[in-house]
Amino acid sequence: MHYYKRNLGDYAKKAGRLTMLEHGAYNQLLDAIYDREEFPTLEEALDWTWARDEAEITAVKFVLSKFFEAQEDGRYVQNRIKEELEAYKSKAEINARIAKEREEKRKNGKRSTNDSSPNVHETCKKEHEASPNHKPLTNNHKPLTSIDISEEESSQANAKPKTPRITKKQAAINELVSLGLDVKFAQPIIEKRNGKAFSDVAIDEIKEQASLVQLTVIEALEFAAKQDWGSFRADWYQNRVKQQAHQPVVQQTISEQAKWDDFLKGGSNFRDITPKKLLAIDEVGHA
């Protein structure tokens, strides 16, 4: 196995507190395990990492005790690496079997073609031989078109339906749906993440953040979808809740200010209810 995937976020979370020397020991050990496709004993780990002085040996021992589990046979195993190696070996075996079957099929096809090709003498002999069928060809009352159609229909009936290909984006949505999230919430979250799926570590982090604000992981993801987020954090949630609570007060203040401005401009929505002084009308007498 000449290469392997490395999730930088997972590595930083699990091994971020290592010293420079311990980082080197861990990375050397990972490369050696993936390259050899087997797990080491303590002696093999020291040999594979070229640990020489006491500090390097101590770093290797610390990494083994921190990230690996000692087995009865003395080897140190990490379950995640073990699963990846098993998946790689299984895929390699399948590819090898398919390649072998394809090669055998190609050879058999070539051999049958050579065997079925007549030479010149056989061709001449067959031309002078009488046909074994003494009946005329027109004796067949069925038209050739009906035979062709039936064969085509038979081949179509036997053909297996093609399995639709699932994209990475759809697979990521399906993973969230399998957790219990409705697809209408799962789809916008994955689209916000450009089709990228959540790792197991990321899901665990969302669960932890959701618990800080008394939410389930499903409630947290639903809230994230409504806010057009690609993930969830407790501080994001608290800030957004504060904003939503403050918004009605701000709108009420703006509305009251608008009414006052309209009044000052003499708007038609207000009536002047101040008392008016009545004008006295004197009666005019006749001379």
pLDDT of residue 142: 52
pTM: 0.36
Q: How far is CA 25 from CA 4, 42, 50, 168, in A?
A: 17, 13, 9, 34
pLDDT of residue 147: 47
CA distance 74 to 263: 88
| Burial call 77-102: b when 16+ CB within 10 Å, e when fewer | ebeebeeebeeeeeeeeeeeeeeeee
CA distance 240 to 227: 9
What token pair was written down for 46?
A: 């020291």
What token pair was written down for 80?
A: 């995640």
Pseudo-torsion of CA 160, 165, 166, 169, nearest 10°?
-170
**No. of H helices and E strands in the chain?**
12, 2
Averages of pLDDT over each 10 residues, the chain, 287 residues: 81 90 94 93 94 95 95 92 89 88 84 62 52 53 50 61 82 92 93 91 91 93 93 92 76 68 63 56 49
Architecture per CATH, domain 1-108, reads as Orthogonal Bundle (1.10)
Place of tokens 């490395």: 6
Please state the domain extents for the chain: 1-108, 168-245
Q: 201: how many CB neighbours lie within 10 A of its CB?
A: 14
pLDDT of residue 236: 93
Report the 3 state secondary structure along 168-218.
HHHHHHHHHHHCCCCHHHHHHHHHHCCCCCCCHHHHHHHHHHHHHCCCCHH
Q: What single-letter amino acid sits at 191?
A: E
DSSP assignment letter at 135: S
Alpha carbon 280 to its chain's center: 89
CA distance 12 to 211: 23
Identify whether the C-beta of residue 51 lies closer than 8 Å to the C-beta of residue 29. Answer: no
